[in-house]
Amino acid sequence: MPKEKRMSQISFKRSGNTIGGSLTGVDLSAPLKDAERAAIHQALLDSIVLCIPAQQLETRDFIAFGRQFGELEPHVLSQYHHPAHAEIIVLSNVVENGKPRGISDGGAYWHSDLSYMAVPALATALYALEVPETGGDTLFVDMYRAYETLPDATKARIDGLTAIHSYAWRHNRMIDKNKVRAKLTDAQFQCTPEVVHPVVRTHPETGRKALYVNPGFTMRIVGMEKDDSEALLAELFVHATNPEFQYRHHWSVGDVVIWDNRCSMHSASGGYTPEQHRTLYRLTVTGTVPY
């Protein structure tokens, strides 16, 4: 029997300057009403990163919430999938019976989820089950503002450029860095070939332009010499990660945070000890081909 919907007034509040917001008065453990669904969608477009706090969800509730936005994309690292629901990848530093509960170093670098796929992510949602007392924040960047505040000469220079994105390139760098991750299997490598996306993409719903390169998965600019490509990307990354464009989310148990990957980057900040447990469930919603 469907759970009875608790009625309360929906309220949206900005959490940051141009990026970040919270929406209260919504219970995600019961089917969403049309007005709630519309409010969440609009708040996401307005804030880019949206927190819906104080939720008490079963796994099926969280999956149902993610499906409100589109088809769910299982992560390539299938060894970290939820044991009963492949749509969910578990982010956790908890070790049980000598086996990691989930991936412990996920997203500890600036990136946009699934930019390494031919059809990247529309949105990502995280549900916090365990959070450390200190540390564990997630940082987000408004990539609309990152583009809009570029010098005119730089905008002209990058107009029409494309870049190569690669998951294997990032994964191998993570192996070299911390020796924790296992090498990709042949199947995982085959399903994540290098892809090409525009350096500046147009958001399909808002029509606004956003910078669409990231340090995590963007290897190089197509048609440029290696040194020139690295210099241009470094310039864009330094500009994009200006603190003025950032929002820092401090997690509480029960937070559901969803963000728009089409116009943002994010990074896990770390800063907590292994004794402080951090466990989140993650869903990724498939988007459309960037243009």
Return the SS3 of 157: helix
Q: What is the pLDDT of residue 177?
A: 65
| Distance between CA atoms of residues 130 and 160, nearest Å | 43
Q: What is the pLDDT of residue 100?
A: 87
Q: What is the mean pLDDT of residues 222-240?
A: 98
Confidence of residue 289 (pLDDT cuts 50, 70, 90): very high
Q: What is the mean pLDDT of residues 237-259?
A: 97
| Distance between CA atoms of residues 93 and 98, nearest Å | 12
Confidence of residue 222 (pLDDT cuts 50, 70, 90): very high
Whether the CB-CB separation of 48 and 146 falls below 8 Å is answered with no
| Distance between CA atoms of residues 109 and 185, nearest Å | 22
Q: Give which of 180, 155, 169, 126 is closest to 236, Cα–Cα.
A: 155
| Distance between CA atoms of residues 41 and 34, nearest Å | 11
**12: buried, middle or exposed (CB in 10 Å: 19+, 13-18, 0-12)?**
middle
Active site residues: 111, 113, 266, 282
Q: What is the mean pLDDT of residues 57-68?
A: 97
Q: Quote the percentage of the chain above a pLDDT of 90.
A: 79
pLDDT over threshold 60, residue 156: yes
For the segment 71-122, what is each residue's pLDDT rounded down to a tens digit?
999 998 889 999 999 999 999 999 988 888 998 877 788 999 999 999 999 9
Whether the CB-CB separation of 16 and 247 falls below 8 Å is answered with yes
Query: The tokens of 154 are what?
Result: 């730089």
pLDDT over threshold 90, residue 46: yes
Q: What is the pLDDT of residue 174?
A: 67
